[in-house]
Amino acid sequence: MKITDAKVIVTSPGRNFVTLKIMTDECVYGIGDATLNGRELAVVSYLKDHVAPCLIGRDPHQIEDIWQYLYRGAYWRTGPVTMAAIAAVDTALWDIKAKAANMPLYQLLGGKSRAGVMVYGHANGRDIDETIDEVGKYVELGYKAIRAQSGIPGLDSTYGVSADKLFYEPADADLPSENVWSTTKYLDHTPRLFEAIRNKYGFDPHLLHDVHHRLTPIEAARLGKSLEPYRLFWMEDAVPAENQESFRLIRQHTTTPLAVGEIFNTIWDCRTLIQEQLIDYIRTTVVHAGGITHLRRILDFASIYNVRSGCHGATDLSPVCMGASLHLGLSAPNFGVQEYMRHTPETDEVFPHAYSYSDGYLYPGDTPGHGVDLDEALAEKYPYRRAYLPVNRLEDGAMWNW
Ligand code: KDG
Ligand code: MG
């Protein structure tokens, strides 16, 4: 089998997605997600100008060799643009291999380790009462795990709180909108949110919370301690993780489980975190961490240290990424939980998929490949629109992490 073409498709059915479609001389094709929120066109160029020409004529079954060729061969390693491009190729090649074998992808990854993939949904509200109501809606939908975020008194807007409750979209403007952040207000408010949720719903649903990189290590330690009575499933991205050692300090102070890694691109970004058992869940996902080949390497490494997966699954990761992630989640022995932010009906129509939700779990389905396709004619009707994530400033105007 030979690769005959590699086409990059940009579409915006409510939000931007970049998809790579690899064609072969045997009429089997594969698709991979290459979306990098707010920097989409950089990956488009990387793929079109620098990767696609190198793929033509290669054997698509040589997945590992092609991965190494694109990673080592570029000389310039890692980074979100490079790794999203490599991920798209890798995902498309696994799709081709599984279609050629006439098997769902999870079979090629070793078969099922579980019946379904537990997912968590996003409950959020402008204040504690509204968030409590939203948690109730996810309980009604059968979710076993629910992330809770709430607006903070005295701050106009904050991460995780959206107007549309089911379809959260943070890339909300043509140029970055500006938010104001106060750690003091946040640290006072957040334990009250979880106290109120536990009072209302008891300890049955798993509760998760995303700090979104906003604290220092000692502040994160304080938050983790103050949340201990509410037994969170995890506290996510408590601090920016360029310094993996930051987590040593947090870990010394709290038993609240820690999750991190949605913006990591390689196994080296999480090596210390995993090896020193400083985290409980690694959140790297297919599209931003080099595809199925590299994410599986990360998860296997993590399994030795009792670290489980908690793959990122926000709306800016396309249904193609979700499908691939579900196959890996079904097979990985150390799967933990999968984030599931629902895509809009327009997006679902452009990306017909075999996966389905039922009673707190996602099931990848048994279609050969990863089970997600792209309706190219429909995709063309939704042209790219520039959209950025917000930025954050402290109350004195200084830039902060969003
Ligand atoms: O593009 C950025 C989003 O994917 C991110 O803000 C979502 O933190 C996020 C999450 O946990 O889903
Ligand atoms: Mg997050």
Task: Name the token pair of 41.
Answer: 């066109």
Average model confidence (pLDDT) across the chain: 97
What is the per-residue pLDDT for 231?
A: 98
Alpha-carbon distance of 70 to 361, in angstroms, equals 35
Q: What is the pLDDT of residues 143-196, one digit of tens each?
A: 999 999 999 999 998 888 887 777 778 898 999 999 999 999 999 999 999 999
**Helix (H), strand (E) at residue 332:** none
What is the per-residue pLDDT for 154?
A: 94
Which of the residues 159, 186, 355, 361 is marked catalytic? 159
Residue ranges of the chain with per-residue pLDDT less than 70: none
Between the CA of 169 and the centroid of ligand 1 the distance, in Å, is: 9
Report the sign of the C-alpha dihedral through residues 275, 278, 280, 281, in that order.
negative
Between the CA of 119 and the centroid of ligand 2 the distance, in Å, is: 14
CA distances from 205 to 90, 117, 146 (A): 35, 16, 7
Question: Considering only CA atoms, which of 292, 296, 342 is closest in space to residue 316?
Answer: 342
DSSP track, 247-293: HHHHHHH--S-EEE-TT--SGGGSHHHHHTT--SEE---TTTTTHHH
306 within 8 A of 279, measured Cβ to Cβ: no
What is the per-residue pLDDT for 168?
A: 79
Specify the residue with its C-alpha closest to ligand 1, atom 12: 314
Alpha helices in 179-266 (DSSP H): 183-201, 217-227, 246-253
Q: Which ligand is nearest to the CA of 317?
A: 1
Between the CA of 15 and the centroid of ligand 1 the distance, in Å, is: 14
Q: What is the pLDDT of residues 52-75, one digit of tens each?
A: 999 999 999 999 999 999 999 999
Which of the residues 206, 212, 213, 353 is marked catalytic? 212
Alpha-carbon distance of 363 to 374, in angstroms, equals 19
pTM of the model: 0.97
Domains of the chain, earliest start first: 3-104 (3.30.390.10), 108-367 (3.20.20.120)
**What residues does the ion ligand 2 have nearby, CB within 5 Å?**
210, 262
Specify the residue with its C-alpha closest to ligand 1, atom 1: 37
CB atoms within 10 A of CB 233: 23
SS3 call for 320: helix
The bridge status of strand 308-309 relative to strand 281-282 is parallel
- Around ligand 1, the residues with Cβ closer than 6 Å are 37, 170, 210, 212, 262, 312, 314, 316, 339, 389
Question: Considering only CA atoms, which of 234, 278, 289, 222 is closest in space to residue 33?
Answer: 289
Q: What is the pLDDT of residues 110-120, one digit of tens each?
A: 999 999 999 99
